[in-house]
């Protein structure tokens, strides 16, 4: 079957800027983004049955159950298949080998005309801590746009007193506190190596982008990666 659709999987620690880069791709390239973190927080905010189950895991910086996350993603992909036409970023999924395996099977079964690209966002721990200290997000669960108080990543048009998209208040995420950040980073590095090995064994090329630089430069490098893919 001819390849007509592209999925970009962003791999990187919390605070690497997966959400910020995804937003630029949405704004400037017309791509779509599926962030499992956004989906999870939306469930918690709406107090759905899923939300009640995952609230504790998120607050304590742990991963949500693989089966639950995979079901959420598969349902979303079936409902939003149009999102794949231009380019879809998976931001924060898969995070474990079990999730990657389930995604591979789902794509082989339901989205076989899709090309999967892996992009690893590389950043130092120091960079992560700085980024997360400056991160604020839109409070509106249906928006959750990401902003940064760090000048080098702030778009000049952003005023940082309210969301530019929906005018809701901007807040700090509860799990961006220091102790939880440390747990989230530890969890990320526990899975990173296995995940990258899984992609390599699946014959998928992992491209790296240095994100310890200003967002505009990250976007430029990422676009070069996309163009190199044809
Ligand atoms: P994020 O917004 O990507 O930083 O995700 C916030 C939190 O949501 C994570 O710390 C996890 O608790 C949960 N989460 C998001 N994506 C996943 C995933 N793919 N697998 C397990 N838990 C996830």
Q: How confident is the model at residue 2 (pLDDT cuts 50, 70, 90)?
A: low
- Alpha-carbon distance of 72 to 94, in angstroms, equals 12
With a 6 Å cutoff on the Cβ, whether 19 touches ligand 1 is no
Between the CA of 46 and the centroid of ligand 1 the distance, in Å, is 17
With a 6 Å cutoff on the Cβ, whether 34 touches ligand 1 is no
Task: Name the residue at shortest CA distance from atom 1 of ligand 1.
Answer: 37
Mean pLDDT for the chain?
Answer: 91
Q: Among 50-59, 67-76, 142-151, 163-172, which stretch is predicted with the lowest mean pLDDT?
A: 142-151
Task: Name the residue at shortest CA distance from atom 2 of ligand 1.
Answer: 37
Between the CA of 95 and the centroid of ligand 1 the distance, in Å, is 8
Residues 6+ apart with CB under 8 A from 184: 13, 14, 61, 175
Q: How confident is the model at residue 22 (pLDDT cuts 50, 70, 90)?
A: very high
Q: Which pLDDT score is estimated for 7?
A: 95
pLDDT in tens, 99-152: 999 999 999 999 988 999 999 999 998 899 888 988 999 999 999 999 988 755
Is the Cα dihedral 103, 106, 109, 113 positive or negative? Answer: negative
pLDDT at 97 over 70: yes
| Strand bridging mode 114-122 / 88-91 | unpaired
Tokens of 86: 């231009």
């Amino acid at each position: 079957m001819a390849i007509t659709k592209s999925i970009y999987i962003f791999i990187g620690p919390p605070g690497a800027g997966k959400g910020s880069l995804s937003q630029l791709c949405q704004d400037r390239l017309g791509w779509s983004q599926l962030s499992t973190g956004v989906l999870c927080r939306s469930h918690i905010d709406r107090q759905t049955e899923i939300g009640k189950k995952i609230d504790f895991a998120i607050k304590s910086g742990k991963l949500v159950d693989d089966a639950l996350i995979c079901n959420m993603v598969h349902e979303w992909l079936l409902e939003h298949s149009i999102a794949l036409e231009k380019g879809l970023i998976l931001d924060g999924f898969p995070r474990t080998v079990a999730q990657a395996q389930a995604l591979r099977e789902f794509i082989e079964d339901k989205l076989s005309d899709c090309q999967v690209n892996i992009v690893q966002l590389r950043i130092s721990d120091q960079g992560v801590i700085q980024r997360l200290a400056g991160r604020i997000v839109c409070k509106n669960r249906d928006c959750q746009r990401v902003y940064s108080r760090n000048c080098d990543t702030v778009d000049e048009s952003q005023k940082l007193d309210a969301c530019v998209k929906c005018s809701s208040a901007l807040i700090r995420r509860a799990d961006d506190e220091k102790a939880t950040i440390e747990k989230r980073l530890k969890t990320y590095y526990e899975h990173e190596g296995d995940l990258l090995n899984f992609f390599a064994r699946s014959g998928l090329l992992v491209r790296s982008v240095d994100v310890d630089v200003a967002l505009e430069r990250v976007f430029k490098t990422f676009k070069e990666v996309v163009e190199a893919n044809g």
